Amino acid sequence: MTAVQAARRGYPRYLAGRLAEYLSVLLVALTLNFALPRALPGGPLKLFGSPEALARLTADERAQIATQYGFGRPLPQQFLDYLTGVFTLDLGTSLSDGRPVIQALADALPWTLLLVGTSTAATAVLGVTLGVMGALRRRRGKGSGLLGAAVVADSVPQFWLGMLLIVLFGVKLQWLPTYGVSGPDGVSAGGVLQHLVLPVTTLTVTGMGYLFLYTRSSLLTVLTSEPVQHAHARGVPYGRLVRRHALRPALLPVHTILMLEIGFLAAGAIVVETVFAYPGLGRLTFDAITARDYPLMQGAFLVLTVMVVLMNALADATYPLLDPRARTGGRR
């Protein structure tokens, strides 16, 4: 059996195995998504009055409120209702503002997709390009500056960088808006772009460091491999050697890292959107946690979890298309 035939026969089996794994991961994530909000200190009753007013409620009144909003039932029944709602797309009603959770998520998700999509594109272009430059300039000793900057960027906390950008470009220089997406005249394309600059910069800078380091390491590994060294010894020019023999195998694993990076950027949006008061899924999640809004928390966590799982699944599904050896476990 040839390598191509083996790859074609192995790909459906490969996908089936990965699908089973991700379904298991999703089931565990759903269980944690239900359990973690209920493990937080406090509870959703705080939404219905001040601590003094709640202290005056009788046990029967508390039980009546809990039953009315569904969190007074036994936990197994709540979990069953939660799973039923997930599969029927009925995630309940937000306790804090009375909107259906699906509607709240639908309003916030496009803003997060815009933020994460823009940041992903910038992270991919800058991280990979600078990573390749850092690897190639290492031969001439000029890549140490890029390496040091990438290590710093990979270590900077998102909230700290966001606050620094707000103080510098929003308060001192007053070049850019620092919160929301709308200006004095409401939401406009130009206004949205201006409001995106600082949060996108924060996500891009903190996300591109790891991609730079991985790209640089991967390319250096390929450049020092025996096939590439043999081609160089045969007199193949260095530029042609890099373009034709090193870049493609070096960027194959970077593809997987980039897919995973999208999921990390989506999770990191919680911090960035909160810092910049950006009306996306991250800010919605923070507000739900603060209010102990169980249905909204569960819905927001569910969407973020699905985004991360989908990016992992997409990475696993597309990598064998780029490298057929992965379909057969590397066998030829």
| Strand (E) or helix (H) holding 285 | helix 281-291
DSSP string over 216-278: HHHHHHHHTSHHHHHHHHTT--HHHHIIIIIHHHHHHHHHHHHHHHHHHHHHHHHHHHHHTT-
DSSP string over 105-171: HHHHHHHHHHHHHHHHHHHHHHHHHHHHHHHHGGGGT--HHHHHHHHHHHHS-HHHHHHHHIIIIII
> What would the two tokens of residue 24 be?
């298991």
Confidence category of residue 331, pLDDT binned at 50, 70, 90: very low
Domains of the chain: residue spans and CATH: 22-88 (no CATH), 112-285 (1.10.3720.10)
Count of C-beta atoms within a 10 Å radius of residue 103: 12
Helix (H, G, I), strand (E, B) or coil at 98: coil
To the nearest 10 degrees (0 to 180), the angle between helices 294-322 and 3-39 is 170
pLDDT computed for residue 101 by the predictor: 86
* b (16+ CB within 10 A) / e for 35-63: eebbeeeeebbebeeeeeebeeeeeeeee
When mean pLDDT is compared across 157-161, 193-197, 243-247, the lowest value belongs to 243-247
Is the pLDDT confidence value at 332 over 50? no
Mean pLDDT of the chain: 76
pLDDT computed for residue 330 by the predictor: 47
pLDDT in tens, 130-145: 888 887 776 555 556 7
pLDDT in tens, 36-85: 766 666 555 554 544 554 555 566 656 666 665 566 667 787 788 778 88
Most confidently predicted of 15-24, 174-183, 189-198, 289-298: 189-198
Distance of CA 320 to the CA centre of its chain: 23
For range 293-313, the mean pLDDT: 81
For range 279-294, the mean pLDDT: 83
For range 304-332, the mean pLDDT: 66
pLDDT computed for residue 50 by the predictor: 47
Give the global pTM.
0.75
For range 292-307, the mean pLDDT: 82
Is the pLDDT confidence value at 8 over 60? no
Whole-angstrom Cα Rg for the chain: 25
pLDDT computed for residue 207 by the predictor: 82
Confidence category of residue 319, pLDDT binned at 50, 70, 90: low
